[in-house]
Amino acid sequence: MTRFTLFIVSDSVGETAGLVTKAAASQFRHDLETVSIKRFSYIEEVSQLEEIVFLAKQQQALIVFTLVKSEMREQLQLLCEELAVQCVDLLGPLIEEISHQLKQSPFEEPGLVRQLDNEYFKKIEAIEFAVRYDDGRDPKGVLEADIVLIGVSRTSKTPLSQFLANKGYKVANVPLVPEVEPPAELFSIDPQKCFGLYSSIEQLHSIRKARLETLGLKDDANYAKIARIQQEIDYCKDITARVGCDVIDVTNRAVEETANTILKTLTARKAN
C-alpha cells in the first residue's frame, strides 16, 4: 500500500487547508492509513518554515499552505525549491486575483475569516436572544441583556430589539402596563444599559386605532382611548424615573434613528 504524507501549514488554525486537503485526499484514499496529514498552525516566523520544509524533505511530504502574508508565501516557496520539496499554495493565487479585480491591497492579517465567523454566530445568538426575551416573556433576559428596552405598547420595542440584534447586541424588552408591576430584575440592573421609549399621545392614539382595525376590533376600545394612553405614559415616566435610565422620544422616528441614538450613547459611555 502506497503511503503519502501531507503537511498543512497555516498562519492561523489551518482549518481551511485541512478541509480542502481532506476533500482532495478523499478522492484517492480507501483506507484512513493511506494518507497521513500533519498540521502546523500559527506559523509566523521564517525559522519555523525552515524547520517544516526540512522535516518535509525527510518524510517526503507534500506541503499544502494557507499563508496570507505574501512575504511568508514567497519564503516558503523558495525554501521548497531549494530542498526540492513539493508545495501547493491554496490562498495566494486567489488573493492575488481578487486584489487585481478589486484594485485593492489585501490586509494580510491571519485569522480574519474566523473573526467573520464569530461575528456571524454572535449575530445569530443575539437574534435568538431577542426573540426569546421579547415582550417581557422571561425576566431573566433583563439580567443577561446588553440592552434593555422598556415602554408602553406600540413604541417599537420589538422591531428595535430585532434591529439591534442584527448588530450583534442581546436585547430584552419589557412592556409597561399600569396594572402590572415590572419585574424586580429591572430595578437591579445597571440603568445605563436600559432605555425607556415613549411616543406622543397623538401618535400612539393613531397607531393603536389602526392596530385594532387590523385585528377586526372596534377602534373605540379602551386600548386606544386618549385617557388610557395618558395613564400609560405617566406610568412609563414613573418607572423610568425609578430605574434611572435614559428616555427616548420615538415620535415620528424610524427604528434606525432610535437604534443609532442608543448605540451612540453606549459608545460615548464606554469612551468615558
The tens digit of pLDDT for each residue in 210-230 reads 989 888 888 778 999 999 999
SS3 labels along 135-185: HHCCCHHHHHCCEEEEECCCCCHHHHHHHHHCCCCCEEEEECECCECCCHH
pTM summary value: 0.62
Higher pLDDT, 230 or 20: 230
Kindly report the average pLDDT of the chain as a whole number: 90
Phi then psi for 183, rounded to 5 degrees?
A: -60, 145
**Residue 4 pLDDT > 70, yes or no?**
yes
- Topology (CATH) of 4-110: Rossmann fold (3.40.50)
| pLDDT value of residue 32 | 52
What are the pLDDT digits (tens) for 123-147?
889 999 999 999 998 999 999 999 9
Phi then psi for 196, rounded to 5 degrees?
A: -90, 140
Residues of the chain with CATH 3.40.50.2300: 4-110
CATH class of the structural domain 113-271: alpha beta
What are the pLDDT digits (tens) for 157-179?
999 999 999 999 999 999 999 99
Residue 115: pLDDT band (50, 70, 90) is low
Phi then psi for 246, rounded to 5 degrees?
A: -70, 150
* Separation between Cα atoms, residue 61 and residue 5, nearest integer Å: 5
Residue 37: pLDDT band (50, 70, 90) is confident
